[in-house]
Amino acid sequence: MHIRIGTRKSPLALTQSEMIGKRLQQAGCTVEYVKIETSGDLFMGDLTAVGGKGLFVKEIEEALLAKAIDLAIHSLKDLPAELPTGLCLAATPLAEDPRDVLILAQGSSLADLRAGAVVGTSSLRRQLQLKALRSDLSFVPLRGNVDTRLRKLSDGVCEATILAAAGLNRLQKKISTAQLISVEDMVPAVGQGVLALETRSNHVELRNLLEKNLHDAATALRVVFERSFLLACGGDCKTPIAAHAVLHDERLSCTVFLANPKTGYSVKLQENCTATAPAANELGKKMAQHILAQVKR
């Protein structure tokens, strides 16, 4: 089978697409990469004002629906809660590290930051959870790919920044002035560390191939819970929202975080359920109801 993979042009997007492409070649397929510039890549202002993270996938999904490509590789955390009609997630490969990483210009831990230090991040999820650990910190917006953000850090735009461990690992970047933040201290974004393999719902042959060669059941179970929670919350990139699930001894342990973007008031909840997709889906909805009621108080 010849598979045209649609990908953004950033180094991380290309690396992720090539990872999947190599697996498909090992399965006997031929692969072609189609580089697509998205609205999110072109717009460097506040994403919340122009449509949010969905701008990083919009043109790629349009190419899928137009049959200009066969497969899209996304970071799952960039996908909106609902997919366009006619598209589906065909497989979820084994996830990378879901944690966030604090990277400092000097020092190697949160404690090394001076009082009132400036942290560069445009993520309200990260800002509010880091503020809970160090209330004295201040923030400046910071966008761009991994290298752009690291360059801005070295240029003195800020004294620290926060990136996803998964992206750094896939790019094989080892940074000495970095501290991994536990998922207890900073709940990850929905789907953080997971790659989404999106294709047309009616492309049955490709869906079967992807499920057979690239699907990881434990990762898929985590995704069911996290995206169920996201959908039930009605979350978008304007909402400081996070969810993470991990499989422990046939139980799915789930943590969620939600904040009121206007007041900064936040709630974190933890529950668990049996390790089945229906149970994960129902728990996502249930925890969304509970946390929405508390945040709106």
The CATH code for residues 1-93+194-215 is 3.40.190.10
Q: Any idea which residues carry the catalytic annotation?
A: 78
Condensed to tens digits (0 to 9), the pLDDT of residues 53-80 reads 566 788 999 999 999 999 999 999 988 8
What confidence score (pLDDT) does residue 237 get? 55
Any idea where the domains of the chain sit in the sequence? Answer: 1-93+194-215, 100-181, 217-297
Condensed to tens digits (0 to 9), the pLDDT of residues 206-244 reads 999 999 999 999 999 999 999 999 999 986 556 899 999
Flag whether pLDDT at 51 surpasses 70: no
The CATH code for residues 100-181 is 3.40.190.10
DSSP per-residue letters across the chain:
-EEEEEE-SSHHHHHHHHHHHHHHHHTT-EEEEEE---HHHH--S-GGGTTGGGGGTHHHHHHHHTTS-SEEEEEGGGS-SSPPTTEEEEE-PPP----EEEEESSSSSGGGSPTT-EEE---HHHHHHHHHH-TT-EEE---S-HHHHHHHHHTTS-SEEEEEHHHHHHTT---SSEEEEPTTTSPPPTTTT-EEEEEETT-HHHHHHHHHHH--HHHHHHHHHHHHHHHHHT--TTS-EEEEEEEETTEEEEEEEEE-TTT--EEEEEEEEESSHHHHHHHHHHHHHHHHHHHT-
Condensed to tens digits (0 to 9), the pLDDT of residues 89-117 reads 999 999 999 999 999 999 889 999 999 99
What confidence score (pLDDT) does residue 263 get? 83
Same fold, 1-93+194-215 and 100-181: yes
Domain 217-297, classified CATH 3.30.160.40, yes or no: yes
